[in-house]
Structures are given as structure tokens and as C-alpha cells.
Amino acid sequence: MYQRAARPLYNHFLFTAAQRERLEVVLVSPRNPLNIGAAARAMANFGFSGLTVVAPYEAHWREAQSAVGAENLLQNARRAETLTEAVSACSLVLGTATLTRRQPEQTVVALPALAPIAQGRLSSSGRVALVFGSEKRGLSRDDLALCHFLVEIPTHPRQPSMNLGQAVAVCLYELSAPRGNPPRPSANPKPGPSSAPATANDLHLLSGVIDQTMAAVNYSPASMRNANRRHMHLLLRRLSLSHPDARRMLGLFRRILWQLQHRAEPN
């Protein structure tokens, strides 16, 4: 009797359920509620549930009718006022951008490389943010400075930008597509205290006190402070600091700043 060969499961997930819960999709200043709903639907299609919406334009975005089958996901989405707030608990932030009109200031990751990079952090119990900009302007330079890597979706030069909901779907498919038999992490991965990566909040606190220290010693004119702040964000992410090292540096710069602010005035 003829038997059809067993087909591999199409909906095999690269990540475990616990890992998918630690990936956050972040939409920055989305303008159209229908795009937010489409993004939520794409997340439900691929088994992701963590959605944060940063400073949305429309007040009634949770009512988007395009979130077919993902109404609960949309209702439970987190709202944040800034990207800094949205990614504070994440130790890896991946920003999406089209590079046709901008020069990247950090490493650009090809879309097929997205899954291994995210899996490496998720396998060590870290949290990962996948960040998308607004439909009109994408992510700003200040937003991109908070990202460790940039992810570029290959598109035709005549139409380089992609609809927000479609971009979310493409990236999440890339994270979920089968790739043979990927190595499975141990049941309870526990990074040691020296290997736990610094979170975005660690780096935010550190860059803030460094910025205050630079101002206290008149490191540069006031007109350069925004550019220096952005470059410091990028530098700290290139260093790939661990959580303990970031806290140690924070303590050091706080002490330096205190000494600068309380040094004796000359007679």
C-alpha cells in the first residue's frame, strides 16, 4: 500500500515558547492603527506575544480591526512614552531601517542573520527588542543610537520602504522559519554573574552619568552635547558590557561626578 512520505512540520519554531515570550516587538510612533493591528496579527501568526507601542499618534489604536485573531494581544500591549523606556529591560536591541538615504553608525545585520543573533541572546535568558519606526520617517538617529545592530530588509531600490505590518511579518517569519535542526539550549540556562549582559536601562544610566561628567569638565561646547550623547550611546553598545561591569563603571563615574561637583572653591 502506497504511503505518502511524512512532511516536515511547516510550523516548526526555531525558538521555544519561553524564548518567544522574551522577544518584544516595539513600534515607535506608529501613525495608522490598522498597521498596529496588522503587526499584532503577524505576531500571533508566529507565536510572539510581547508588543510595546511607543507614543502612538492615535488614541484608539487598541481597537484596530486589522488585529484579526490577535485582539487579546493588542489589548495587552504595553504603551511607553519613549524608546528608552520601552527597551529598558532588554540586553539586545535590534533596529530596523532602510539605508538608502542614511549612513549606518553601527553594524548592519542581513535579514538571514537575524535569527542566530537573537537566538544567542534568548538562549542565555536575555530579553531582545525588535524595533520598528514610524511609517513616515522610520527610526530617528537618536532611536538608532539605542540599538546594538541594524536589520535591513532587502527591497527593490525603486521602493525601499515597506508597510509597517508587512515589515513585522517578514522579520518574524525569518525568526520562525525552519533551519534544519538548530541546537537546543539547555533546559534552564543560567548565565553566570560575570556573563549576564548589560540591559538597555544599565546603559541608559551609565550614559547619563557620563554625559553629566562631560558637562562638568566642559568637555565640549553645548552645541555638541546632543551629538556626543548619541555617540556615547553607540560606543557603549559596541563595548558589549556585562551587567556587573556596567554597574561598576556607573559607580566609578558617579564618584568622579560627585568629586567634581563638591570640589573646594579656590579662595
Q: How high is the pLDDT of residue 83?
A: 96
CB atoms within 10 A of CB 191: 15
Q: How high is the pLDDT of residue 53?
A: 97
Distance between CA atoms of residues 259 and 246, nearest Å: 20
Q: How high is the pLDDT of residue 2?
A: 47
What is the SS3 assignment for the chain? Answer: CCCCCCCCCCCCCCCCHHHHHCEEEEEECCCCHHHHHHHHHHHHHCCCCEEEEECCCCCCHHHCCCCCCCHHHHHCCEEECCHHHHCCCCCEEEEECCCCCCCCCCCEEEHHHHHHHHHHHHCCCCCEEEEECECCCECCHHHHCCCCEEEECCCCCCCCCCCHHHHHHHHHHHHHCCCCCCCCCCCCCCCCCCCCECCHHHHHHHHHHHHHHHHHCCCCCHHHHHHHHHHHHHHHHHCCCEHHHHHHHHHHHHHHHHHHHCCCCCC
Cell numbers placing 119:
537566538
Q: How high is the pLDDT of residue 136?
A: 84
- Residue pLDDT tens, the chain, 267 long: 445 555 555 556 668 888 999 999 999 999 999 999 999 999 999 999 999 999 999 888 998 989 899 999 999 999 999 999 999 999 999 999 877 666 778 889 888 889 889 988 888 888 999 999 998 888 998 999 999 999 988 888 888 888 999 999 999 999 887 655 444 433 344 444 456 889 999 999 999 999 999 998 888 888 888 898 898 998 999 888 989 999 999 999 899 989 988 875 555
Q: How high is the pLDDT of residue 264?
A: 54
Q: How high is the pLDDT of residue 186?
A: 37
Q: Which domains does the chain have, with CATH numbers?
A: 17-176 (3.40.1280.10), 200-261 (no CATH)
Q: How high is the pLDDT of residue 200?
A: 93
Is 33:59 a contact under the CB 8 Å cutoff?
A: no
Q: How high is the pLDDT of residue 195?
A: 67
The pTM of this model reads 0.79
